[in-house]
Amino acid sequence: MRTLVVVSALIHQGGRYLFIKQNKLQGAYPGTLHLPGGKLENDENPAEAIIREIKEEISVQVTNLKMADFDWDTTSYKGEMTRFIFLRFTAELKKGEPVPGSDAAEVVWIPKAELAKEHLNSPTIRMLRNLHLV
C-alpha cells in the first residue's frame, strides 16, 4: 500500500463554499464533490502546495489561509489501495472567478444551508463536521 500526503482547502465567500467535480477517471472517491487540492510535492511545504493546487485547479487567489485539521483514509486510487494523509485548510476567495483547471471538470458553489444535502466524499464530511458546518 502506498501513502500520499494531500493538501486541500475549504474556500468560502459570502456564506458559500467552493467544491470541484474531478475529471480523473480513476480518482479517489468517484462521483463525489471534492475540495480543491492535491499531492504535497517533496520540495514544498503544505501552505505552498495548497496555493499551487488552488491556482492549478481553479485559477484563483485566496487569502486568510488557515490550517483547519488533518485526517486520513484508505481507499482505492488508480487501481491501488492508498492511504491518504489529508492536511486541510480554510481560506477566503481573494481574487479571480473560479474556473475548472487541470483536475477539475466543474466548479460548484454550495451555500452553507445546502452542504448536508450534497454528495461529498467521507473525508470532506468529517472536516465539515469538525468545523460545525454540517
The domain limits of the chain are: 2-130
Residue 3, pLDDT above cutoff 70: yes
Over residues 110-129, the mean pLDDT reads 94
Give the pLDDT score at 78: 87
Over residues 21-42, the mean pLDDT reads 85
Which CATH number does 2-130 carry?
Answer: 3.90.79.10
Over residues 44-63, the mean pLDDT reads 92
Residue 25, pLDDT above cutoff 70: no
Contacts (Cβ under 8 Å, ≥6 apart) of 75: 28, 29, 81, 82, 84
Mean pLDDT of the chain: 91
